[in-house]
Structure 1
C-alpha cells in the first residue's frame, strides 16, 4: 500500500513539474505571438472581453510574426515579418518602452482541384508589442516595408511617449 501511495505522489510531482514548465514556456513565447481576432475593428485596443489589457499580454492569440531587435550606438532597429500586407494596413506606435505594430489582414484564395473547390480565408486584426531595450525618439523614427519585412529604425533618446510612424516603400 505504501508503494502505491509513493507512486501516486511521484506522478503528482512529475505532473506539477510538467505543468510549471508549460506555463513558463507560454509566458516566454507570448511576446512573439501575434493577436488575431476575427471581427475586430482597426484601432480596437481592447481584449476579447472589452477590457484594456497590458501590452505584452495583448500580443498573444493567433500566430507568430518573427521579429528581430538590433541595437546600435545611436539607434534601435526592429525587423518584423509581415507578409502579404500593404504599407497602409500597418499601425505603428511607440508606447512607453514598446514598439506596437498592428493592422488588419485579409486573406482569401479559391482554387479548383478536380471535382473539389477549395476556399481558404483568414480575416482579422493583429497586434504585436515588441519591448524596446532603451528609450527612443519616436519623432525621428522611420519605417520601411519591403518583401514582406517591416523595418523600423528608432533613434535612441532619453524621452518616452507615444507617436504614430508612417511606413515608406522603396
Structure 2
C-alpha cells in the first residue's frame, strides 16, 4: 500500500477553518420555555470529498439519514449547490434521551466550478446516504496531442 502525499494548500486549510468557525458561530444559546439556556441546533455542513481525473470531477457528500427527496442539487452562474434538510425525530413522551449529538437542520454547500467543467455534463446519484455528483470536463479544454510530422 502506498501513501500519496498531497501538496500543502494553505487555502484549503483556511477554508476548513472558516467552515469550522461558521459552524461554531451558527450555534447560539437561546432561552428555553423553562427559562433555562439550551443549545439551539443550527444549520450544519455535510462533509465532502472532491476528486479529479482527466475526464472530470466527482463530489461525494456524506448525507446519512436523508432520503433522495430531502436533497437538492442546483447549478447557477457557475456555482454548484447541494442543499437539503435533516429533520429531527419527534420527541415522544415515553422516551428519555440521555444524549443527542447528531446535528439537524438545513444545510447548503456551494462550489464554484472550474473553467474546464462542462455544465451540460453534470449528473447526480444518491445511494446509501452518499450523494455523488459527477461533472465532466469540456472537450475544448482537454489537452490535445498533436502529431509531429517529419
**Which TM bucket (shorter chain)?**
0.5 to 0.7
> What number of residue pairs does the alignment pair up?
110
Tell me which residue corresponds to 1:29: 17
Does the 8 A contact of 1:136 with 1:158 survive in 2? no
Tell me which residue corresponds to 1:67: 48
**Matches of 2:104 and 2:18, distance apart in 1:** 21
Q: Which consecutive residues of structure 2, in runs of 5 or more, have no partner in the other structure?
A: 1-12, 27-41, 141-150
**Matches of 1:126 and 1:88, distance apart in 2:** 14
Does the 8 A contact of 1:66 with 1:81 survive in 2? yes
Which digits, 9 at most, give the CA deviation of each residue in 1:133-155, with x for residues without a partner? 44422332111111211111111
What secondary structure sits across from 2:108 in the alignment?
Answer: strand
Instruction: State the TM-score, normalized to the length of structure 2.
Output: 0.55
Report the CA distance between 1:110 and its aligned residue.
Answer: 4.4
Q: Which consecutive residues of structure 1, in runs of 5 or more, have no partner in the other structure?
A: 1-24, 38-60, 160-170
Tell me which residue corresponds to 1:140: 121
- Aligned Cα root-mean-square deviation (Å): 3.8
**Matches of 1:156 and 1:109, distance apart in 2:** 44
Moved over 6 A (4+): none
